[in-house]
Amino acid sequence: MLGLTQGGRPVPSVRDRSVEAAPGTGVRNDAPGSGAGGEPHTGPLIRTIESEIIPRLLLAHKGAVDARGAGVAPVEMPNGEHIAEFAGLVLTHDAAAASRYIEAMIDQGFLLETLYLHLLAPAARYLGELWSQDLCDFVDVTMALGRVQHVIREFSPAFRVAGAEPATEARRILLAPAPGEQHSMGLMMVKEFFLRSGWDVVGGPGTPSEEVGVQVASQWFDFVGVSVGSDCRLAGLATWLAAIRGVSLNPAVKILLGGPQFVANPELAALMGADATASDARTAVLQAEILAARPARPN
């Protein structure tokens, strides 16, 4: 997603697609600094993206490209019927049945990463819609989401093995839900993607908001990732994030925000005091990699 070869198939060069595909970087193939006569402050960033980030992400996400070679059909994607069927399954059956459903889709040629992003995550959103429309009660939806999380945990070893890198102290992130946030599935998936990409990950679902300040004040983190699941959590969020920056052992700590409202209004993340937002777990890793590569601005 984010030249080299992968699975025996040539991967388009960085100049063809990768820099353009990085949302929010402000770097284009035709931007000043992308050529020999470009500005010096953008040239190093492009070289870093080309020499470090893109190869690392290719390794972290290998398996996302069909290994059968060039000229094959695009990777198969789940459709609305799959999403509704899986959601119905976790509502009415146990977690083992849901796992068997995933195994059957993998046997049919679906990639596990594709299922994480385009089946499990949409199914969780669909369950939330059923609840908001009073088609399911809170207990049923909560139990169903628990079964989805069980599936993620069960397939976690296979997911991480497909392209995992050793963790490095240079890339360290603390993950936590926003204060008062109850939903954890999205953050759980984000954690899986960061671990798979070689990050040293601390926290995750269930991390108390009051622990975040304590952690960043006593340990070095390059990033703090916060999951916000509903609009009501925005109240006081900017103040809380500012407090995190204020006590952080790393004065240049970066903050990533995730949640449905930021997908609909990405500019809202900046208003809350964050450095970036992302529409899904895979994009969150990409955004963090891009931010990590940016040189510090002179004082």
Domains and CATH numbers, the chain: 5-60 (no CATH), 80-161 (1.10.1240), 168-293 (3.40.50.280)
Band of residue 32 on the pLDDT scale cut at 50, 70, 90: very low
Per-residue model confidence (pLDDT) at position 1: 33
Q: Give pLDDT, residue 239.
A: 95
pLDDT band at 177 (very low <50, low <70, confident <90, very high): very high
The one-character DSSP state at 231 is G
The answer to whether 167 touches 261, Cβ cutoff 8 Å, is no
Q: Is 69 left (phi over 0), alpha (psi -120 to 50) or beta?
A: left
pLDDT of residue 235: 80
This prediction's pTM = 0.67
pLDDT of res. 74: 58
Cα-based angle 47, 223, 21 (whole degrees, multiple of 5): 40
CA distance to 5, 7, 155, 191, per residue, from 70 (Å): 11, 10, 28, 32
Comparing 71 with 202, which gets the higher pLDDT?
202
- Read off the pLDDT band of 201 (50, 70, 90): very high
* Tens of pLDDT, residues 57-75: 444 444 443 333 333 445 6
More confident residue, 184 or 192: 192
Q: What is the pLDDT of residues 219-258, one digit of tens each?
A: 999 999 999 986 666 889 999 999 999 999 999 999 999 9
Instruction: Please determine, for residue 290, whether its predicted confidence score (pLDDT) is greater than 60.
Output: yes
Looking at the chain, the whole-number percentage of residues with pLDDT higher than 90 is: 43
**pLDDT at residue 288 is higher than 90:** yes
- Structural contact between residues 111 and 61, judged by C-beta atoms closer than 8 angstroms: no
Quickly state the pLDDT bin for 165 (edges 50, 70, 90): low
Q: Quote the tokens at residue 237.
A: 């969020």
